[in-house]
Structure 1
């Protein structure tokens, strides 16, 4: 197989985990193809994937995608904590949950602020927390 075919297989498996990798996150480097997802990088060669110091045979695209999805989830939650402080973040069996830890003044409630955010997918969760954090910010909290 070519590295491009392997990388496309990996991208399909990542999409099954809710991670849709844009074309600009993939680049050709010599005889390999690299995918960058947050601070994570995986390289596809003609017969294997290299990620996190390990080599995985081409047939393990699904397993590599699962490992990468778990690692990306951790990365995304760390990033969210640094960008949107004031929340207690949790991974629930049904998805993701954040609880606002700060005071909840009336002006925030009047602005439609939700002190609890729960979403099934990581992308929806990040977007919802960012929206609520923005509401808190523009309302002086």
Structure 2
């Protein structure tokens, strides 16, 4: 086995390990309820680095993000309605919990933000892996297809 093949295999294992780390981070986000810790994308509370205290937030952040959630839910409900799921769309439109503003929690914000960073890093690794796999296009086409 050549050095390049060994590097490719090591890079594969590293990418797999980071992918499992992403799954773990997603599970932590889900189990702690941190999914709305960063309510907007790609920034977090209109900042590239999330705030650590409520003093760093925009003054009207609660109203702004409730309005954003309502808009997203309306769009999703319209999509469901177009698929014939009128009852489900109506229940989403009239869900009172959507109108309840989230209180800022720095630990939830950073949990979600770290999950996003790991996700972005994993995506870059996967793209690099696909590019590296093209070196095997002639010798092992299966590697390219599986990448």
If asked which structure has higher relative contact order (CA below 8 Å, sep 6+), I would say 2
> TM-score of the superposition, structure 1-length normalised?
0.28
> TM-score of the superposition, structure 2-length normalised?
0.27
More helix by share: 2
Larger radius of gyration: 2
More strand by share: 1
